[in-house]
Amino acid sequence: MNTRYILTSARERDIDRLAAIELAAARLLIGHAPEPVLKETTSQGVLEEAQRNGHLWVALADDTPVGFAHVEVLEPDAAHLEEIDVDPEHGRRGLGRRLVMQVCEWAAGADYESVSLITFRDVPWTMPFYATLGFEAVPTFELSRALRAVVEDERCRGIDSSRRVVMRRPCAAA
Ligand SMILES: CC(C)(COP(=O)(O)OP(=O)(O)OC[C@H]1O[C@@H](n2cnc3c(N)ncnc32)[C@H](O)[C@@H]1OP(=O)(O)O)[C@@H](O)C(=O)NCCC(=O)NCCS
């Protein structure tokens, strides 16, 4: 029987499942990110706050989270898609695409001008995946102070900045 997926705002009870999804999805990035980074997960406290603020969405299979998207508001006019992960057992079924679009629709409705994210330049599918959803690479000189700080934080955690790309989608495209 085909699994029926539902996308929804995360509920408090969903939060405990998200670290396992993040770790499982990170295995897709082996060879692209340092191993210690692949073992990092978003802290419970950050996820709880995001859930309370309505900045966390989940994809549910039979009421169990199998993917999530987490937004941080780092600057007044933009929403930052800080994390998106789909359990590979449920991958390639459109959930990643639906989660990104859910965030973009929410951001447009909340009057943000754009949605940003940071991804790997050299993972073959990531930039094309976001490009098909309307995201474009942002040149380094155009980066806001907040996004520069995120890239710098990543660098301190061992992620090579030259392999990262900031992408942005105007909400007007929604
Ligand atoms: C990126 C991610 C969220 C996509 O989730 P998903 O539910 O598998 O995505 P979708 O089913 O919506 O895929 C949309 C398209 O993206 C591309 N794509 C996504 N994942 C891919 C993969 N592992 N390999 C090749 N292409 C992929 C394909 O073109 C796919 O369309 P298709 O299946 O019709 O060919 C998921 O792979 C993931 O959690 N990855 C680990 C974390 C990560 O890479 N985050 C982003 C970079 S920082």
What pTM was computed for the model? 0.95
33 pLDDT more than 70: yes
Q: What is the pLDDT of residue 1?
A: 61
What is the percent of the chain where pLDDT is above 70? 98
CA dihedral 93, 95, 98, 103 (to 10 degrees): -160
> 173: pLDDT confidence band, cut at 50, 70 and 90?
low
pLDDT one-digit tens code per residue, 133-158: 999 999 999 999 999 999 999 999 88
Q: Where are the alpha helices (DSSP H) in the chain?
A: 18-26, 35-38, 44-53, 95-109, 126-132, 145-156
Residue 98 has what pLDDT?
Answer: 98
Mutate to test the pocket of ligand 1, among 40, 123, 125 (most ligand atoms within 8 A of CB): 125
CB of 84 sitting under 6 A from ligand 1 = yes
Is 174 a residue whose pLDDT tops 60?
Answer: no
> What is the rounded average pLDDT of the residues 27-54?
95
* Nearest ligand 1 atom to alpha carbon 28: 41
Question: Using CA positions, which residue lies closest to atom 24 of ligand 1?
Answer: 125
